[in-house]
Chains A and B, each alone.
Chain A
Amino acid sequence: MLRVCWKGANAAAQKCLCGKVAAHPLQHCRRYTSAGNSGSAAGKIVAASLLTVGGGLGGTILYAKWDPKFRANVEKNVPYSDQLFEMTLGPPPPPFIPLQKKPIKVEPLQISSVSEASKDSKQPKSKGKSKEKQSEPAPVEPKPVAEETPAQSQQTIEAEECHECASQEPTLKERPVEEVAARLAQQDRAEQEALTALSADLEEALGTSAKFTLQAIGAQEVALTAIGTHTLKLREAMDSEDPSDKKSSQWRELDDALSERTRSVDQAGQALLQAKEQLEKLRDLINSAKESKLESARPQILAAEENLHSMIVDLDKVVTKVQAAQSEAKIVSQYSELVNEARAQFQKELSSITPEVQANWKGLTGKLSVDDLNSLIAHAHRRIDQLNRELAEQRVREQIRIEAALDQQKHEHQRAMEQTMTTAIQHSREDMRLEQEKKVQEVREVMEAEMRTQLRRQAAAHTDHLRDVLKVQEQELKEEAQENLSIKMMELETNYRRQAQEQLDSFTLDVNSAYARLQGMEEAIDSHVVAEEEARKAHQLWLSVEALNYTLKTAAADTPTEPLEGAVHAIKESCADNEFAQALTTALPEESLTRGVYSEASLRARFYNVRRLARRVALIDETRNSLYQYFLSYLQSVLLFEKEQEAPPAKLAPQDLDTFKLLAYATYSIEHGDLELAAKLINQLRGESRRVAQDWLKEARLTLETKQVISLLSAYANAVGLGTTQAP
């Protein structure tokens, strides 16, 4: 059952697994296939997206290449696109500005009847000049056109600048004031310069043209007068019936006058041409000035134009006068020609009749015969008839001719009138134009003034507003600045105080430390001084103690030392303030001071003597002191044999108080240098032995005492000296 269940469970599990496994591969397969499909689909999607993006970019770039506005837009909106565009397309194209002004049509210089005036004076030069003149208006036309284009280009540049600044506006909020001011100043300066140049040019041109015009006018008047004189002379010559020499002089004068006239007319013509040239130049200048559109130069231009006009008018007047004179002269010359012709004919006839008569027929009164005279008179009558006939004919013809001439004259008059009319119309037109321009100028000025006032008002309002705003801003900024300033100041002050305090503290610290060091140094020095003093004193003490010690050595064999007084005195002096030393020095026994002490060696030597004697009188004391006892003690000392030296015990027992024993101990001690012990032992002697050893004992005691004191002193001196010695 369990197995069955187990199997069942296994089977179920396996089934499940298999099922799952069976299902999964399908799913996996499906997934694989779908993955494969999806893989290709993903690739397709990726490819498609790439294509769209690339296409979009390419399309944008191409369209930007074609349409700069679009390009500008894109550059404005998409950052870094301008770099892309620059990379692919190159820098952006310059902005396109349409022409703002039509070209001004320059009217060719219509100077009246230049050709006519030049024809009359028979000057091919003038004709050439007139041709030049006519060709000059042609170049005058292209000149203003050429001048226009720079003006246009200037305008375009200005417009471009404006467009640039307009395009720059999105990047710059506002052009900086200095730039604007600079630009304005620059423009003003340029204007000023141009104006000055223009005015200079105008003045110059005006001057030259006026000069030339005057010259021309003068020349024309001169020509006029010359023509007048010539005509007059001619008429006189014609009308007068003076004798031949006067006639010849008259003719000469006439020739002179003619030459004069021709010359003056030539000169007049030249001057006129020059004047015309100058006037044309002036006109060109005026036109160019007009083209330059300088507002401030307008009155000057107007004035120049007026001057030009007046000069032209004067010139025309003079020219008309000259022309009238010339026409009159022509008539007169024609008349003179006719007269001359008639005269010549008559002369011919006369010469044909009277061949021998030559020269002037007026001077023939005295030389002719009667026949001649009759023939002359007949001829004259015939001539008169002929002339009468001719006159009648002429009258008729004259009538016709007069009519024709009248017609012609009418035509001519009409033509002249037309011409004068046209010139007058032109003049009036010019006047009107000038007046119009003047009016325009005035109106413009007025408008300008009004505009200026309006602008000023606006500027005033603006400045007021600005002032208010500035005031408010100023206030705010002032407060802010004040606050900042106060904060900074406080900070700085606290900083400064802190730093000052720090410095002060450090300084005080330094000073204190220095002072302490100084104190320490002073103390050290004082202590040094004291120590040195001490050392000196110690040295002195030691020296004096050494001296004392030395004096001890001065003891000879049996004589005591020198009295120690000197040395002790020296010691006392050297250590006057040393209580210990003083005490010690006072502890010295008087005897040593006055008499000196015996040396140990002498005491030792003396001891043996004392010992012998003490041995001999060992038995003698208060009770036994007879001579017999003396003899007995002597016998004892001879007969008693004992050790000469015997080491003394640490403690003396009562049986050691025997003389001989004591002496033995003392000898031993003496031999071993222990004077003190010997003295102690000797002090135990009694009786006569004691009396015998009394002096020696005293001496020994003195010596011992002195030695003790001196040793103490020396030890003390050494100790003091050691104490004062300073360790390195």
Chain B
Amino acid sequence: MSEKEIGQKWDRCLADCAIKAGAGLGLGIVFSVVFFKRRTLPIAFGTGAGLGMAYSNCQNDLRSPYLLQRNTTKEQ
């Protein structure tokens, strides 16, 4: 179902965001703890990186139908 696709995409997006943000947070925490003496930088940085990655993934995922694929260029 094409109408369910966007919902699925959004679900993926959110899931991905959560994961990535969580992962980033976690890494951030880790790094902050480990490396960066509990600075919040790495947490912020990780979370943000995570969120950013999720955001871009989401965006790519949402954009994917409109992107010209390599197959077509190859066929050209």
Contact = CB atoms under 8 A, between A and B. Distances in A.
Interface of A: 606, 609-610, 613, 617, 620-622, 625-627, 630, 688, 691-696
Contact of A696 (B2, B59, B65, B66): B2
Contacts, number: 37
Given A696-B1, A696-B2, A696-B3, 17 more contacts: A606-B3, A610-B3, A613-B3, A613-B7, A617-B6, A620-B62, A621-B66, A625-B62, A625-B63, A626-B59, A627-B55, A627-B62, A691-B65, A692-B3, A692-B5, A693-B2, A694-B2
A696 B1 CA distance: 7
A537 to B, nearest CB: 41
A131 to B, nearest CB: 184
A625 B58 contact: no
Contact of B6 (A613, A626, A627): A613
B3 A627 contact: no
Contact of A630 (B1, B3, B62, B66): B62
A702 to B, nearest CB: 14
Contacts of A622: 66
Contacts of A693: 2-3
A202 B6 CA distance: 173
A627 B52 CA distance: 12
A693 B5 CA distance: 11
Nearest to A687: B66
Contact of A625 (B1, B2, B3, B66): B66
**Interface on chain A toward B: helix, strand, loop, or mixed SS?**
helix
A691 B56 CA distance: 21
Contacts of A621: 66
Nearest to A613: B3
Interface string B37-76: 0000000000000000001001100110110000000000
A338 B1 CA distance: 212
A692 B2 contact: yes
A692 B55 contact: no
B8 to A, nearest CB: 12
**Interface on chain B toward A: helix, strand, loop, or mixed SS?**
helix
Most buried by A among B2, B62, B63, B65: B2
Contacts of B2: 691-696
B66 A695 contact: no
A692 B59 contact: no
A54 to B, nearest CB: 151
| Interface size, B (range) | 10 to 19
Contact of B1 (A617, A688, A695): A695
B42 to A, nearest CB: 25
Nearest to A626: B59
12 contacts: A606-B3, A610-B3, A620-B62, A621-B66, A626-B63, A627-B55, A691-B2, A691-B5, A692-B3, A692-B5, A696-B2, A696-B3
Interface in B1-23: 1-3, 5-7
Most buried by A among B6, B55, B59, B65: B6
A39 to B, nearest CB: 150
Nearest to A628: B59
Nearest to B64: A625
A693 B6 CA distance: 11
Nearest to A610: B3
B35 to A, nearest CB: 31
A613 B10 CA distance: 12
A611 to B, nearest CB: 9
A617 B58 CA distance: 15
B63 A692 contact: no
A678 B66 CA distance: 25
B5 to A, nearest CB: 8
A588 B63 CA distance: 35
A695 B63 contact: no
B1 to A, nearest CB: 5
A196 to B, nearest CB: 153
Contacts of A694: 2
A694 B2 CA distance: 6
A609 B3 contact: yes
Nearest to A692: B3
A595 to B, nearest CB: 14
A694 to B, nearest CB: 4
A134 to B, nearest CB: 183
Contacts of B65: 691
Contacts of A695: 1-3
A649 B12 CA distance: 40
9 closest A-B pairs by CB = A695-B2, A694-B2, A622-B66, A625-B63, A695-B1, A627-B59, A610-B3, A613-B3, A692-B3
Contacts of A691: 2, 5, 65
Contacts of B1: 695-696
A95 B23 CA distance: 185
B3 to A, nearest CB: 5
B6 A692 contact: yes
A691 to B, nearest CB: 6
B58 A627 contact: yes
Nearest to B55: A627
A631 to B, nearest CB: 11
A691 B54 CA distance: 23
A462 B62 CA distance: 159
Contacts of A688: 6
Contacts of A630: 62
